[in-house]
Structure formats: structure tokens, C-alpha cells
Amino acid sequence: MNIATIIGARPQFIKAAPISEKIKTIDSLSEIIIHTGQHFDRKMSNIFFDEMNIPEPNYNLNINQVNYCQMIEKMVKKINPILIEEKIHGVMVYGDTNSTLAASLSAKNLNLPIFHVEAGLRSFNRLMLEENNRIITDHLSSLMFCPSENAVKNLLKENLSNGVILSGDVMYDVFLKFSCFKDDLDSDLIKSKFILATIHRRENINSAEKLSTIFNNLNKINDRQKIIMPLHPHTKKKIKEYEIQSNITFTEPLGYISMLSFLNECEMVITDSGGLQKESFFAKKKCLTIREQTEWNELINQGTNVLCKPEDLNKAYYKISNEECDFSNNFYGDGNASGLIMQSIENFFSK
């Protein structure tokens, strides 16, 4: 059986790594990797394939830097003939990106089963393109692999039960495997206690007012405790466009192992990233999330992750700094999500 893994963004490369490793061990399955090109910068793409030993993509569609509708349309147009030519029997998709939606539409057009890893997440904000991507993908999928019990409950509320599997989180698999790898961090950067920060979501960076407010608050926090920020290319562009001044420490985008090394060394995380919210929990670090909603609501309820508006960031930092957080709950499985996922797919094909 031929499985097409269709990925295009940094978090998907990370999630695909343990699945691709499992596929290699199954004689009855072979994998065709299609990279849509959604993340095209080497430090946002190639480095993950290199250091996580993901097989080189069989296809790179090189589709990026166009608007939402154009991107989906171009991806579908290029993916469809590949699925036919490669005689694909099932399509593996991850998360909630434009690449995920395009892959799902292509698969459905050809009546191919869709296997959705990280299914069932909901922020309940339909203004977010990612929310619509994940909802549509779930409702098209044959198997929905949920990272948490909350994700299963979300699908049940939408009358989705057939093919819903509580698998645990593949990102936890990856974290456990790679957190023992130590990158040689710049000693000057980490000689004092620091906060790890990332900002990249369009609702934050596409508003000059929001992004300026975020960095004004980060500057205030940095006066008390050093902030290190691996700078996303889009964020870098907007900082320059809006003429934002900042006294925090910027680095180039980091590979996965380097990012984990910074995460394990930091005191706290400030982010708007979905994946880093979870990784902060894995690493037992407090997290401030600059968003109005999150798909990882169990972390909010646990108190290890706090949502805040840009204007409230400094105040939220002082509050969470003085709080004790409980990281004892295991929301995301036992570190064998990838094994359970591949066993479920084998069973699906055997029927």
C-alpha cells in the first residue's frame, strides 16, 4: 500500500518524523512524501529533514508567498496528478495548515482515505483560517488521531465517532526522543536566566498596533529578565516594515534540536505558537500565550499556560512569575502515539 504524506510547514515536519520512521519498518507500506513548499526558507524546512532523519521529499511543489485561496488552489492542482501517478492508497495529513486542507481536498476528490494526525483540536474561533482547515479536514477523514481526550470530545460533539482514535500526541514522541540531544548553545546567550519567545501568527504580526504593543511589553520584561527570540522570517519583515525598535535578543530560526535545547534551559516561554505551548508543558515550563483562544485548553485549565492580550503581556508576566504550576498531569499519551497510529492504519487497510 502506498501512503502519501503531504506536509509543508515546520510543525508538520516534526510530527511526520516518528511516523515516517515507523512506516519504514512495515513491509506492506511505502511512503511518498510531498512537500508543498509552504515553508520554504532552509531554516524553516530543510534543517528539520536533515537533523530528524526524515526521508527527502519525493516531490517539492514550491508553493508559497501567495494568498490563502491561491495557495489552496495551486496545491490541489499539483497534488491531484501525483496521487494518481503514484497509485496512492491513502493520504496522511498533519494539523491545520493550508497544506493539510489542500491535501484533504485532493484525496477526497479521488475518493482516497484521509488519515488526520492531530485531529479534533478546536479554538472555537472561526475567524482563524487554521480552525476552518482542521474542521473541514476532520469531517473528510477516515481516521482521526486525537492527541488528547479533549480532542475526542470535540469530535463527538460534531457527531464524529467512526474512525476517532485517542492516539496521544506524536509531538510528545518526538520530544522524548530528541530532548536528550544537546546542542552547543552560545554561552554568551544563556549565561544568565532567560525567557524563550516566539511570535509569528498572522493576527499578531499583520497589525502594526498589535505587534508594536507586543514588543513594547517584551522590552519592559526584557529589562527585568533577558528574552531570546528565534525570529520567524515573516515577523522579521513586519518589524522592519513597522519600524519597531526592540532591545530583546534575536537569533535566526532554530532547528528542532537547538529549539529544544533553548526550551530546556529557559525559565519561561512567551509565544503565539500552537506547538510550543505543548512543548513548554512537556519541558515543564510556564507559558504565556499571546492569543485570545487556544486549541490546547487543557493546559489553560491546568494553569501552566495563560492566555493574554498584547496590552496585558507585562502584567501577565509578573503574575505567572509568582505562581506555582502543576505539570504532573499526562494529557498527551505515553510517547507511543506513532506506533498506535501506524497499527491503526495497518488494521484499516487489512479490512
Write out the catalytic residue numbers. Answer: 200
DSSP secondary structure, 205-233, as one string: HT-HHHHHHHHHHHHHHHHHSEEEEEPPH
Neighbours of 242 (CB within 10 A): 15
* Contact by Cβ (8 Å): 176, 335: yes
State the alpha helices, DSSP H only, in the chain. Answer: 10-23, 46-51, 68-85, 98-109, 129-140, 149-157, 170-178, 202-205, 208-224, 233-241, 256-265, 274-282, 297-302, 313-321, 337-350
For helices 10-23 and 170-178, the axis angle rounded to 10 degrees is 80
Neighbours of 333 (CB within 10 A): 18
Spatial distance between the Cα atoms of 176 and 55, rounded to a whole number of angstroms: 20
